[in-house]
């Protein structure tokens, strides 16, 4: 138990961290072997371990802290970032991690960790051992990828929980993507929530300056879509009506 309290403090750690703590490779290897057998630590994946609480027998770090320790640039993103900020309608059995480092999806403690390849360099929020995409980046990332992660209904429900957004930060993220279609989707979806999100007309005017010249569909499944001339987009007549349906999702807890 000599180093247990330090490991509890770290929560999640690598073998290199253990070498620093114990003073040698041999001591680190011995500690790993001993503590794994005694249940003081568990292996999350190759060269990543987590401390286990003696009282609860559960991992000390949260899923978001574990995700943030996968790589130096690892960042909790998309629906997982909504969860972290408290703006998710559901909590999934998955954590989405944006990182330059490739890894195969893996499961630990009932949660599957998935890699998302970064499309641009962006700022993150760092707090309590968690690196997470900032809220505005999370919004735009989620709108861009809602057909792959979460779905349209869940994304809308997350957006409806957000009290306010910063239009300048939204525009910076949109500019980083440099996608006319994403300006269309973001403008259309956020305009339906503009009052609750406190977004000014100037934000939507800027979005319209960058929209694609061609007609687009909001998503691949487009039954009963109507034409929205302002956004040159085929989409539901009333986007809020989608959230009136019941919530069912196999990935939700």
Residue 226 covered by a domain: yes
Q: What's the pLDDT score for residue 8?
A: 96
Residue 249 covered by a domain: no
Task: Based on the fold, state whether residues 8 and 131 are members of the same structural domain.
Answer: no
Q: What is the pTM of this model?
A: 0.91
Task: Based on the fold, state whether residues 162 and 195 are members of the same structural domain.
Answer: yes
CA dist 180 and 187 (Å) reads: 11
Residue 33 covered by a domain: yes
Task: Based on the fold, state whether residues 96 and 27 are members of the same structural domain.
Answer: no
Task: Based on the fold, state whether residues 129 and 44 are members of the same structural domain.
Answer: no
Q: What's the pLDDT score for residue 242?
A: 84
For residue 110, give the 3-state DSSP assignment. Answer: coil
Residue 102 covered by a domain: yes
- Whether residue 77 is predicted with pLDDT greater than 70 in this model: the reply is yes
Task: Based on the fold, state whether residues 107 and 211 are members of the same structural domain.
Answer: yes
Task: Based on the fold, state whether residues 21 and 71 are members of the same structural domain.
Answer: no
User: For 21-69, how does the pLDDT look when each residue is reduced to its tens digit (9 = 90+)?
Assistant: 999 999 999 999 999 999 999 999 999 999 999 999 999 999 999 999 9
Residue 96 covered by a domain: yes
Domain limits at 47? 4-51
Residue 253 covered by a domain: no
Task: Based on the fold, state whether residues 41 and 130 are members of the same structural domain.
Answer: no
Which CATH number is 33's domain given?
Answer: 1.10.10
User: For 84-139, how does the pLDDT look when each residue is reduced to its tens digit (9 = 90+)?
Assistant: 999 998 999 999 999 999 999 999 999 999 999 999 887 798 999 999 999 999 99
User: For 137-148, how does the pLDDT look when each residue is reduced to its tens digit (9 = 90+)?
Assistant: 999 999 999 999
Residue 252 covered by a domain: no
Given the DSSP bridges, would you call strands 111-116 and 41-45 parallel, antiparallel or unpaired?
unpaired
- Whether residue 248 is predicted with pLDDT greater than 70 in this model: the reply is no
Q: What's the pLDDT score for residue 170?
A: 97
Angle at 157 between CA 156 and CA 158, to 5 degrees: 90
Task: Based on the fold, state whether residues 78 and 39 are members of the same structural domain.
Answer: no
Residue 250 covered by a domain: no
Task: Based on the fold, state whether residues 27 and 139 are members of the same structural domain.
Answer: no
Task: Based on the fold, state whether residues 101 and 182 are members of the same structural domain.
Answer: yes
CA dist 234 and 228 (Å) reads: 6
Task: Based on the fold, state whether residues 43 and 71 are members of the same structural domain.
Answer: no
Total number of domains constituting the chain: 2
Instruction: Report the percentage of the chain scoring pLDDT > 70.
Output: 96
Task: Based on the fold, state whether residues 89 and 40 are members of the same structural domain.
Answer: no
User: For 210-230, how does the pLDDT look when each residue is reduced to its tens digit (9 = 90+)?
Assistant: 998 888 999 998 888 999 999
């Amino acid at each position: 138990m000599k180093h247990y309290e330090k490991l509890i403090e770290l929560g999640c750690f690598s073998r290199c961290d253990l070498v620093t703590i114990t003073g040698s490779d041999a001591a680190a290897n011995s500690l790993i072997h001993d503590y794994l057998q005694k249940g003081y630590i568990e292996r999350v994946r190759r060269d990543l371990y987590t401390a286990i609480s003696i009282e609860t027998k559960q991992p000390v770090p949260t899923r978001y802290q574990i995700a943030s320790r996968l790589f130096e640039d690892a960042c909790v993103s998309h629906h997982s970032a909504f969860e972290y900020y408290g703006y998710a309608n559901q909590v999934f059995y998955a954590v989405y991690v944006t990182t330059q480092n490739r890894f195969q999806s893996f499961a630990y403690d009932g949660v599957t960790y998935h890699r998302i390849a970064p499309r641009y360099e962006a700022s993150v929020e760092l707090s309590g051992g968690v690196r997470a995409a900032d809220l505005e980046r999370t919004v735009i990332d989620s709108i861009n990828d809602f057909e792959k992660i979460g779905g349209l209904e869940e994304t809308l429900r997350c957006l409806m929980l957000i009290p306010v957004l910063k239009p300048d930060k939204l525009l910076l993220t949109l500019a980083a993507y440099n996608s006319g279609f994403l300006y269309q989707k973001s403008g259309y979806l956020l305009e339906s929530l503009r009052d609750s999100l406190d977004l000014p007309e100037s934000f939507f005017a800027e979005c319209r300056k960058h929209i694609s010249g061609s007609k687009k569909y909001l998503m691949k499944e487009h039954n009963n879509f109507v034409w929205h001339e302002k956004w040159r987009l085929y989409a539901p007549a009333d986007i809020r009506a989608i959230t009136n349906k019941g919530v069912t999702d196999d990935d939700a807890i």
